[in-house]
Structures are given as C-alpha cells and as structure tokens.
Amino acid sequence: MNTVLGKADGADSVVGPGSTQGISAAGRAEPGGFTSTLQTQLQKINEINARAGKLTVAYERGEEVDIAKVMLARQESSIAFEATLQVRNKLLSAYKDIMSMPV
C-alpha cells in the first residue's frame, strides 16, 4: 500500500498540479494520459488476482505449493481490490461534485 501512496505523491512532481498532460485540445485522451494509466493499473490488478487464483487452485489440488505463498498472494489480491474500490469511489465522488457545480 505504501507504494501506491508513494506513486500518488510522486505524480504531482512529474505532471504538476493543474496540468493537462495527456489531454488533447479536443478533449480526447492521448497515449500516456490518465486513461492509459488507469487501464494499465487495472490490468496489473487483474494479473495479481489471476496469480492468486492459480496458486489457490494449485494448493487445493494438493500440488506442492507453500501455504505462505498462497496466503500472501490472496492478501495482495485483496488489498489491490480494496484499493481499486477506493479509487473508484473517489472518482465517482469527484464526478458527482463536478456535475453538481453550477455553470
């Protein structure tokens, strides 16, 4: 979880607050923008979840898999999922705030 927070803190120094990097003049996302970053992170979380699932199934089949590795993979998957939910909740909250602003 510290790495997620560290990346978030480091993002302001790279892009800067109020920056429009990743958005073209027409409002479309450019490569390397928010959309691609979000998609990449979701793919990583999916890979973590798939790896935890494979380890769990292997352990249940009786293959030689260390129980500690299985539990760590499942915990990592759970934390990644919870972090994703928190990001989603913040995005929805920001969207609602923006939509309720008077024009």
The arithmetic mean of pLDDT across residues 62-86, rounded, is 95
Residue 16 in this model has a pLDDT that exceeds 50? no
* Distance in angstroms (rounded) separating the CA atoms of residues 31 and 6: 23
Tens digits of per-residue pLDDT, 29-46? 566 788 899 899 999 999
The amino acid at 11: A
Residue 26 in this model has a pLDDT that exceeds 80? no
- Kindly state the percentage of the chain with pLDDT values over 90: 62
Residue 79 in this model has a pLDDT that exceeds 80? yes
* Residue 27: per-residue pLDDT: 59
Q: What's the pTM?
A: 0.63
Q: Of 25 and 79, which is predicted with more confidence?
A: 79
DSSP E strands: which ranges in 1-103?
none
For the chain, which residues make up each domain, given as ranges? Answer: 29-103
- Banded model confidence at residue 12, pLDDT cuts 50, 70, 90: very low
Contacts of range 53-57, beta carbons closer than 8 Å, 24 or more positions apart: 53/77
